[in-house]
Structure 1
Amino acid sequence: MGGLPDPDRYLDHVLVDAVPGGPGRPGPGPARQWQSWWHAAARGAGEPLRTAAGRGFVLTTAELAALGVTRSAARAAVCRGDWSIPARGTVAPLRVVGSGDVRLDARRRHALHAAALCRGRREHVVAAASSAVLHGLPVLRLPTAPELLAPARLGLGRRAAGHAYGAGLSDAEVTSWFGVPVTTVARTLVDLARHDARGGIMAADSALRERVATVAAIDRALAGALGWPGVRQARAVLGLADPLAESPLESVVRLALCRAGFPSPRLQYVIGGYRVDFCWPEQRLVLEADGRDKYTADALWREKRREHALRSRGWRVERILWEDVLRHWPVTAARLRAALAPR
């Protein structure tokens, strides 16, 4: 993935050149779209998919045999690309590749891999970044191996196919993803934010925006993590979560601005009918977090017109890309401080 974040497909604006209340209003967000795809897959006709849909879309070879599916038939389906092998000794009887989006295909494969490992390990629960994937939340990068939580007595640490961590986990912090135990969204956000501030703020903003988690639920999860390593960072990061952020890039930029001591910007401010990502009204400064979709031919022309309209109203416009915040933040921060300086 070239070192760039996994959510490239999410990072562009939901509302490019949109007038509030107009045709540019967003539909279901990525998390809702993700879950809708799996629910649609679960409604597929016949066996073995009907059985697999209640078991994380993963069946063991013994379960396939019990359903009357021979090994040769399963092997043929895998070779055609209609089925996949998420882990040794398991089969997923549905097509999860060919979407046209390499990162989306990778997320689907990771979801099945995590489900397969969890099914094969009693008392294990899918957690952290792998749980975020199952919930359809953005992650900065896909884990190299599924992340699970388990009681210490079962053995922890990295194995060939996954990584099991030990941590306290109440029944209320576990939910089900098509029959596979997974940490709730709120607990997932706390675990992410404890270890990865950027990943935590991206997922938290998305969860609040799509209403798959509430502030109250996140606060309860934080209270349950009192005294854990990294919980102070998690409390600070999740305290910044804002449903107005419309992309992971906006989330990461806002976190960087806060940590660097910048004055808090206004989010999704409307100027002359145009909605902007960040702005400081007193300084008449707009900051736009730009994803790749803005630089297609039609989108680029719309963005030029939009910027011209903002400048004609006396606003200055600065732009920021993924590279600016992830790789060149000191230079970017100096540029923005100069733009915010009194004139």
Structure 2
Amino acid sequence: MGRRVVKEGLARGVLAQPWRSVVVHAADLLKLPTRAQAALLAVGRPAVLSGATSLYLHGISAADDTAVHLTVPYSRRVKSRQGLVVHRAEFQPSDVLELDGLPVFSLDRALADQLCDGDKRTAFAALEEALHNLAPEQRGILHTNVRDRIIDRHDRRGIHRAQMLLALATGEAESPAESVLRLIVVEAGLPVPVAQYEIGTVDGRKLYVLDLAWPELRIALEYDGYAAHEGRQDYDAERDARMAARGWITIRATAADLRDPRRLLAELRGAFERRTA
């Protein structure tokens, strides 16, 4: 294009320069694959997209991070910069695969790394989503592969946390928010709830499916996502009343409770105290 055309494009906002020496079409800057390719150009090879970036390119929506994460060998001296997070670790060619022309860590390697040193909630939700996307008979294979990756890590930091999160994951959650809600409850010291618990009629028909439940105490925890529950307040209230007639306590959580769970946990503990008194 030539220096003059590039400078004019940058001045008019047609082009953008996310990092030094890399220019992209400004209209494509919000697309993760474009930013990922730009990051690889800025850092140079060898490098592989990793962490949340790798997981998102694998189709894991829970790993939505505006920054691009990539990993380089310990021998390279590359610094992180705004919007670009550089990790250092050793990896083999067998750890890397190509998605849409981009080098990314395999799903089990990316999950293991995220469980050990990524954001805890994002890592757990990503693992749950990855398991949920598989057929039930295939979940055990991914679970085993991630476990082996964690055990074989040279960097031992975060391994105990990763093993705890892996043991808690079932793949039953219907959304990342439900996964985060389950993690919040368990970390607060409450018993591990059953995910997607079915309530049936006397003749065996499925009546309701509860997000989280403690069946022996008949306590249910439902997540009210905005999109799924918009305009459904009357239906939810009627459902809660029918569940109450069956002896269930239903507690509802929203996105605000994920940010600050104190109200939710107080209500849950109150329900447990009533049922265990």
| TM-score w.r.t. length of structure 2 | 0.80
* 1:76-95 equivalence runs, <5 A: 89-91=22-24
- Name the structure 2 match of 1:190: 112
For 2:249, the equivalent position in structure 1 comes to 316
The superposition leaves residues 61-109 of structure 1 with CA deviations (integer Å, 9 ceiling, x where unpaired) of: 69xxxxxxxx69xx6xx979xx98776644469x769xxxxxxxx5xx2
The one of 211, 223, 233 equivalent to 1:289 is 223
Q: How does 1:187-336 map to 2 (within 5 A)?
A: 187-195=109-117, 196-211=119-134, 214-225=142-153, 227-272=155-200, 273-297=207-231, 299-327=232-260, 329-336=261-268
Over aligned residues, Cα RMSD in angstroms? Answer: 3.1
- 2:238 maps to a residue whose letter is R
Is the contact between residue 52 and residue 114 of structure 2 (CA under 8 Å) also seen in structure 1?
Answer: yes
CA distance in 2 between partners of 1:243 and 1:255 (Å): 13
Q: Using the alignment, how far apart are the partners of 1:202 and 1:254 within structure 2?
A: 10
Equivalent position SS for 1:267:
strand
Residues 307 and 335 (structure 1 numbering): CA distance in 2 closer, same or farther, change over 3 Å?
closer
Residues 55 and 63 of structure 2 are in contact (CA less than 8 Å); yes or no, is this contact kept in structure 1? Answer: no
Q: Is 1:122 matched with 2:45?
A: yes
Asked if the contact 2:218/2:249 (under 8 Å) is kept, the reply is yes
SS at match of 1:282: coil
Instruction: Say if 2:22 and 2:38, in contact at 8 Å, map to a contact too.
Output: no
Secondary structure, aligned partner of 1:123: coil
CA distance in 1, matches of 2:16, 2:62: 23
C-alpha spacing 1:188/1:241, structure 2 compared with 1 (3 Å)? same
Displacement, 1:163? 2.3
The 3 A distance-change label for structure 1 pair 231 and 156 is farther
Instruction: Name whichever structure is richer in strand by fraction.
Output: 2
Q: Give the secondary structure class of the aligned counterpart of 1:155.
A: coil
Question: What does residue range 52-71 of structure 1 map to in structure 2 within 5 Å?
Answer: none
Matched letter for residue 267 of structure 2: R
What amino acid sits opposite 1:156 in the alignment? V
Deviations 1:206-245 (A, max 9, x none): 0001029711221221122154221221121122111111
1:144-155 to 2 correspondences below 5 Å: 145-155=67-77
Cα gap change, 1:161 to 1:269, in 2 (>3 Å)? closer
Shift of 1:252: 0.9
**Whole-angstrom distance in 1 between the partners of 2:167 and 2:154:** 15
* Distance (Å, rounded) in 1 between the aligned partners of 2:216 and 2:18: 54
1:181 aligned partner, one-letter code? P
Residue type matched to 1:209 in 2? H
Contact 1:271/1:310 (<8 A) preserved = no
Structure 1 counterpart of 2:254, which letter?
A: L
State how far apart, in whole Å, the 1-side matches of 2:236 and 2:263 are.
25
Aligned identity (percent) is 27
Which residue type is aligned with residue 264 of structure 1? Answer: V
Gaps of 5+ in 2: 201-206
Q: Indicate if the aligned counterparts of 2:49 and 2:70 stay in contact, CA closer than 8 A.
A: yes
Question: How high is the TM-score relative to the length of structure 1?
Answer: 0.66
Secondary structure at the residue paired with 2:197?
strand
